[in-house]
Structure 1
Amino acid sequence: MDTAQAREGVQLIAYADRLGGSLAQLREILDGPMAGLFTGVHILPFFTPFDGADAGFDPMDHAAVDPRLGTWDDVRALGAEYTLMVDLIVNHVSADSAEFRDVVARGDESPHAGMFLTMDDVYPLGATEADLVGIYRPRPGLPFAVLTLGRRKRLVWTTFTSQQIDLNLANPTARAYLDRVLTTLAQGGVSMVRLDAVGYAIKSAGTSSFMTPQTFGFIDELTARARELGVQVLVEIHAHFERQIAIGSAVDRVYDFALPPLLLHSLSTGDAAPLHRWLDVRPANAVTVLDTHDGIGVIDVGPDQMGDGRPGLLTPDQVHDLVEGIHERSGGSSRKATGWAASNLDVYQVNCTYYDALGRDDRAYLIARAVQFFTPGIPQVYYVGLLAGGNDMDLLARSGVGRDINRHSYTRAEIDSDLARPVVAALSGLIRFRNTHPAFAGECTVGGGGDRLTLTWTEGAHTAALDVAFATKEATLTWTGPDGTARTCTDLRELATVDPSGS
């Protein structure tokens, strides 16, 4: 695979309240102890309220910055320095939003009545059993909550939780709301929006209501509007790998959610064949991640759970072994946060930090990050992953929310201490290398076979290559220095003290 790729620097994913405490303090950390590490930042929801039922993904007011975190001026200040990504939550709003509270109080007399989706909106003549069981949902059960709107009970569409009320995006009021939010984000200095849960946004009778042709049509319309405002679009979808390929061809950016589980598989088994298969077909316009605010997706590499059950990049047995391996290497802590063991159930993710998913093996962790950075796309590093964080069992015990295991709130002292740890210092060196070496402005070639993977970037006389032997967890980094001479590192942990630029 030869992929022309303009250089894209490494970006950070972070909650302002959990890494710094506010928007201004997040910027201070980026400019201070993390100076030079990131060219962009994805700030997870900072809207009112940032600490709702789903950690900000259930906004009461999606166009307002929670005053406890700062103001739009703080957001614009970050956008002036960094490529700024923000979530556009397209599927739902909080049950406590002013609009929905008015509908609860006044029913059909509310001017916002058509803004929210009910079962009748999709199935005006009623639904059969086949219709209902055919709806794809990332939680157990049906996506409805029985709520009283005005004087009558309705089946209101709630894809995720009863605190997150789905928008009726066929209604002009809902579309006007979404356009107002998008315009506000653009005016706030945002250069890219992540379309949160967009795969579920359009519901259509007779379909799964997930990534249907109507959904693609909606994404096209929203992307066109975003581009008018000077904003790029990143689509967030957990689905069969062939759907990711199709989505990638239609949008600015798509997540590479297959890479994290495939790397875990390769590092635990020595088998790099599924990873090679993916690297041969994956979208080049991807945002690469190993971890995010959610869990580690496994649906992205398994057989298709919809339609004809097409084979995945891993077999069902391999997916089972992958999940059990994470639980084992994390000392069983991930099992306590995944599936039926915790609320906010995800049927397609394992809740665990990536560092714990690898058994806190520094060498394996740095290899995984190196492969991420050498894979074409925009690399993003989650704040807990940046600091090689372990599972936060105390937070899990307090909240009972599985994904909180990977959402630690760092004090400034913890940040300073973790940045000095050898594994984090080595990761920081790797990030700076990815940001500065001129080879990453060129083309990437994939080689190797069996347990080996080689990723080589070339731009003129500049080269940077990563060779990994997964069976032995050995990696060799070679590159051209500023004077044109070849340089080599055979242990990525050395990057804690060695400047790979050679300067």
Structure 2
Amino acid sequence: MSEPVEHSAVSEYQFLVENHLRIIYPEIDHTTFARDLIQIMCPDGKCQTPQTHQNHWDQSNVVMITYGDSLLTEDQQPLETLLQFSEEFLKETINGIHILPFFPYSSDDGFSIIDYQQVNPRLGDWTHINAIAEKFQLMSDLVINHCSSQSEWFQQFRRGESPGKDYFFCAAPEDDLSEVVRPRTNELLCLIETPNGTRYVWCTFSPDQVDLNFANPELLRELVKIIKLYLDHGVDIFRLDAIAFIWKVAGTSCLSLPETHEIVRLFRTLIQFVAPKAMIITETNIPNRENLAYFGNSNEAHAIYNFSLPPLLVNAMLCGSCQHLKTWMMSMPPALHGTTYLNFIASHDGIGLRPAEGLMSEEEIGNMVAMMEQFGGRISMRTLAGGVMRPYEINISLIDAMKGTLAGEDEWQVERFLCAHAIMFALEGIPAVYIHSFLGTLNDQAAVMETGHNRSINRHRWDYHKLALALADETSIHSQVFQGMCHLIKVRRRQPAFHPNATQFTLHLGDSVFAFWRQSMDRQQSIFAINNISNQEQIVPLSEINLIGTDNWTDLISGELYTDLRAELVLKPYQVIWLTNRWSRD
């Protein structure tokens, strides 16, 4: 019997890429096209076979989400100011920065890209991006479902010129589009006159955001060049924006179709053979079960956004009950090694409501929406079949969302806000914190009036010097929030039991106490995360937590030692205790 042939990394790379292409593009020359894509990704012919089921993260991973111009000064480029702030204020708190689209754009605060290969000159240039990537793990958006109507590609489409004339997805008004799922209320098809006649281009999000045609392999080739460019400039994490919408077939929902999943697998293969520690994160603001599918068989996304967490957690804080939060958490499968969740509560968008479908009743969602409006929030709608309008997203600053409960405003705003984040920091997965959550930024109603867009409410731009003064004022809400957030994160980052893939088990201590157990992968550290999510004092007998009597138990947050395991925990409103048998606070 002959010895098995040992394939080189390049041979394996070629084999896998070809297999992806056979599924996506059955009619093309897969061998030649795969070779072309690999040549783009590793022109020197050097690559390495990635190890499967490897965690490229640990408990120290914390990502900050920000626009490139969230902080402004008169004498610096915004990206320089961002780096200065991150090094001065957050050096021991975060290790990753997600800079929202930093390219020239025409609308949607960056998500309508004109030129994928340039940094927006109002922010800085590639040298500033490189400088951030040298100090922090850099996460960048790959906005490829659509691009700007002002892009050169779309101008070529209008003129009937190559290559752009074949880069955009078109349909006909008579096509069966009744099942298409969309997050917007504008018309799906936009009429464009071209030298070749009238065309109806597909616009999932807005007329300025024209959907690209992934059925054209030449477009894919151009997008792979963009991926390689970003890798060369230090991008470690690729956020695949609105990826669920990229493949369209009339008569279907045009959401998360099989070809979409295969393209994600292709991107992962193309990236990981040249950058084995790089990550792909899918941004799929869809119901929970569909979202989980983007893990694939540990061969798609390294991480998926935990989109159900924000509405469930905000609702729990509003009503003082963790019933839905517990039910959801018990239904969530542990992420396999090599995959994890990306946890967040607030982002540049809003609190999505679709991921709450099937987890909360329509009445409960309606109550939450109504209270968020009382707290100054705005509500974005989507159109269902038959023209029915339904709330799609709550637009509000998270600190304002924590003003009170369903009974109205109260005095526990900051405590409630920090409790919500403490829950997120303790959960399985990597935490991502929006910059305005770090800063306790309030609703920016003036920005909404200026732009006419609901999402502007949570996209404030700070004058850096005014911010520094606010953070130095210990009486300000901004300082209280910032100090509280940094303390929690610094403690979290030292705990092996908070590794994104460490064991997690839900506890049952009543509706007003949301509690769960984490255990490090070496089984040396246990942490019981116990959270009073109500504005009333709660009492928890230590005997109900089932602590091991031979261990010493300490609250990591306060430093308090618990020696009498027959005693009771008396939890103040929104108090959090991280009870551990292994002291790793400092």
TM-score (norm 2): 0.74
Q: After superposing the two structures, state which structure 1 stretch, 448-457 or 110-119, moved more.
A: 448-457
1:272 maps to a residue whose letter is C
CA offsets per residue over residues 43-93 of structure 1, 9 Å max, x none? Answer: 1111123xx311111111112112222222221221222121100001011
**2:225 maps to which residue?**
180
Distance, in Å, in 2 between the alignment partners of 1:202 and 1:484 is 54
2:507 maps to a residue whose letter is G
CA offsets per residue over residues 366-407 of structure 1, 9 Å max, x none? Answer: 110000001110100001111111110011111111100000
CA offsets per residue over residues 457-484 of structure 1, 9 Å max, x none? Answer: 3335444332123233669995469x99
Say whether 1:143 aligns with 2:143. Answer: no
2:401 maps to a residue whose letter is A
Distance, in Å, in 1 between the alignment partners of 2:259 and 2:380 is 32
| Aligned CA distance change for structure 1 residues 417 and 258 (closer, same or farther; 3 Å) | farther
**1:316 maps to which residue?**
362
CA offsets per residue over residues 328-355 of structure 1, 9 Å max, x none? Answer: 2x1xx213x5349xxxx99521111111
**2:16 maps to which residue?**
none
**2:505 maps to which residue?**
445
SS at match of 1:292: coil
> Are the aligned partners of 2:177 and 2:251 in contact in 1 as well (CA < 8 Å)?
no
CA offsets per residue over residues 245-273 of structure 1, 9 Å max, x none? Answer: 22234421100011111111111222212
Distance, in Å, in 2 between the alignment partners of 1:327 and 1:34 is 32
> Are the aligned partners of 1:13 and 1:44 in contact in 2 as well (CA < 8 Å)?
yes
Q: Tell me, which stretches of 5 or more residues in structure 2 are unaligned? A: 1-54, 383-388, 405-412, 473-478, 541-552, 564-568, 578-582
SS at match of 1:348: strand
SS at match of 1:365: helix
SS at match of 1:471: coil
Note the C-alpha offset of 1:99: 1.6
Say whether 1:114 aligns with 2:166. Answer: yes
Question: What is the correspondence of 1:8-407 to structure 2 with a 5 Å cutoff?
Answer: 8-20=60-72, 22-49=78-105, 52-104=106-158, 106-107=159-160, 109-119=161-171, 127-128=174-175, 131-150=176-195, 152-230=197-275, 231-249=278-296, 250-283=300-333, 284=335, 285-302=340-357, 312-328=358-374, 330=375, 333-335=376-378, 338-339=380-381, 347-359=391-403, 361-407=413-459
> Are the aligned partners of 2:537 and 2:570 in contact in 1 as well (CA < 8 Å)?
no
> Are the aligned partners of 2:554 and 2:561 in contact in 1 as well (CA < 8 Å)?
no
The share of aligned pairs that are identical, in percent, is 28
CA-atom RMSD, angstroms? Answer: 2.9
Distance, in Å, in 1 between the alignment partners of 2:481 and 2:211 is 42
> Are the aligned partners of 1:478 and 1:489 in contact in 2 as well (CA < 8 Å)?
no
Distance, in Å, in 2 between the alignment partners of 1:417 and 1:96 is 40
| Aligned CA distance change for structure 1 residues 474 and 63 (closer, same or farther; 3 Å) | farther
Q: Tell me, which stretches of 5 or more residues in structure 1 are unaligned? A: 121-125, 303-311
Q: After superposing the two structures, state which structure 1 stretch, 415-424 or 192-201, moved more.
A: 415-424
| Aligned CA distance change for structure 1 residues 44 and 346 (closer, same or farther; 3 Å) | farther
2:527 maps to a residue whose letter is A
**1:456 maps to which residue?**
517
| Aligned CA distance change for structure 1 residues 384 and 205 (closer, same or farther; 3 Å) | same
Q: After superposing the two structures, state which structure 1 stretch, 373-382 or 57-66, moved more.
A: 57-66
Distance, in Å, in 2 between the alignment partners of 1:259 and 1:494 is 18
Q: After superposing the two structures, state which structure 1 stretch, 347-356 or 434-443, moved more.
A: 434-443
| Aligned CA distance change for structure 1 residues 190 and 172 (closer, same or farther; 3 Å) | same
Distance, in Å, in 2 between the alignment partners of 1:317 and 1:298 is 13
| Aligned CA distance change for structure 1 residues 473 and 100 (closer, same or farther; 3 Å) | farther
CA offsets per residue over residues 105-159 of structure 1, 9 Å max, x none? Answer: x22x433211111115xxxxx745xx22211111125411111223522111111
1:31 maps to a residue whose letter is E
2:505 maps to a residue whose letter is T
SS at match of 1:17: coil
What is the count of residue pairs matched by the alignment?
A: 468
| Aligned CA distance change for structure 1 residues 366 and 474 (closer, same or farther; 3 Å) | farther
**1:305 maps to which residue?**
none
2:95 maps to a residue whose letter is T
SS at match of 1:9: coil
Say whether 1:468 aligns with 2:531. Answer: yes
> Are the aligned partners of 2:554 and 2:560 in contact in 1 as well (CA < 8 Å)?
no
Distance, in Å, in 1 between the alignment partners of 2:127 and 2:121 is 11
Distance, in Å, in 1 between the alignment partners of 2:390 and 2:247 is 20
> Are the aligned partners of 2:186 and 2:206 in contact in 1 as well (CA < 8 Å)?
no
Distance, in Å, in 2 between the alignment partners of 1:201 and 1:489 is 51
SS at match of 2:263: helix
**1:309 maps to which residue?**
none
Note the C-alpha offset of 1:447: 1.1
SS at match of 2:461: coil
Pick from 478, 488, 502: which aligns with 1:430?
Answer: 488
TM-score (norm 1): 0.86
SS at match of 2:514: strand
